[in-house]
Structure 1
């Protein structure tokens, strides 16, 4: 029960932060404004987040954990490109469930240099974990064979390009469709084959 309450408070603070950061801009928004929007104290905010930047980083961390868990859970005989696409649905499903929020968060991350830097840092961490998962699926040694690392990196870069396109279209295109297009372009590069090695 206590954990559920913590999660609700964290979500409420994150929701207020995202709205204010998106509406006012990253530099113009203060932690005091965020806590005032939800009627909480700065001390409460500090129990959940270290900074306003940490709100976004926390959201990215959670999404990355789900992404890697989804990739790891894909059937062993599923083609690599399909498994990667299904794993990336962790992100695209957020655009279906709450497109306005996903658009705000994505624009904020892509258009705010400190947040983009943190996003790329997280993406590098996801790539490392995805590399291990892909290598295991394909029976490859990631210390010897570059293919798993290249496949993970290319898939994440294709996703980022699709996300940029979706944000630039102001969400008028389907994120799912744009991601499908981007991954179709790189399909041969990310297909490792489960019988490789």
Structure 2
């Protein structure tokens, strides 16, 4: 069972690249399972490489530390969100497109159930990892703002127009709120239901702003 939510944008992947990705995936999977089960400070790199069936040298070829495993996992989440927004139909309201985009990693969480929940709790409850998560979210916001600005019906300059950055920020705030609520409730509530409820709050503002930009029909 894999936790990765990344979406590759490369049209062609060589055999060497595919092999490298498989090793990276196995290391990530083994590390996340152990970290979620035992806690960040309790897990050693020796345990990770033993679980993954690779050498410590191989581990350090891919990651500089345990923390970097989680950071890469978070980077892949952001890649998946941005790729999904870029792929959404041009005629969709911003609220619908952004909901589908942030659902990508949440859908992975829902598919992997309790094990994914433990990973989310690990990140949110480990100060060092939470700090890196917040750093990544800031990058996601910038990336999503660029995609929002390109969407038909928006066509804005993300450097001068408030809407793209604010829309991206609202979507990611909803995503963050869902993760915290899901984590605090130990998975009792469905991520899909939580996300629908969160977007019900922000959708009117997201869509009204684009209607106002277009002006009267």
Place the TM-score, normalised by the shorter chain, in its bin: over 0.9
Quick check: 1:84–1:155 contact (8 Å CA) kept in 2?
yes
Superposition deviation, residue 193 in structure 1: 2.1
Superposition deviation, residue 195 in structure 1: 7.4
Match of 1:73 among 87, 110, 114: 87
Query: Where do 1:10-25 residues align within 5 Å?
Result: 10-25=24-39
Inter-partner Cα distance in structure 2 for 1:25 and 1:168? 17
Inter-partner Cα distance in structure 1 for 2:123 and 2:95? 26
Deviating above 3 A after TM superposition, structure 1's stretches of 4 or more consecutive aligned residues are: none
The aligned residue for residue 102 of structure 1 is 116
Quick check: 2:80–2:105 contact (8 Å CA) kept in 1?
no
Inter-partner Cα distance in structure 1 for 2:129 and 2:186? 19
Moved more, 119-128 or 98-107: 98-107
The aligned residue for residue 54 of structure 1 is 68
Structure 2: which 5+ residue stretches go unaligned?
1-14
Query: Where do 1:116-195 residues align within 5 Å?
Result: 116-137=130-151, 138-191=154-207, 192-193=209-210
Deviations 1:168-194 (A, max 9, x none): 111121101101111111222322427
The aligned residue for residue 63 of structure 1 is 77
The aligned residue for residue 213 of structure 2 is 196
Quick check: 1:77–1:194 contact (8 Å CA) kept in 2?
no
DSSP 3-state at the match of 1:103: helix
DSSP 3-state at the match of 1:171: coil
Report the TM-score when normalising by structure 2: 0.85
Match of 1:91 among 97, 105, 126: 105
Quick check: 1:18–1:104 contact (8 Å CA) kept in 2?
no
DSSP 3-state at the match of 1:193: helix
Match of 1:32 among 46, 51, 56: 46
Task: Give the number of aligned pairs.
Answer: 197
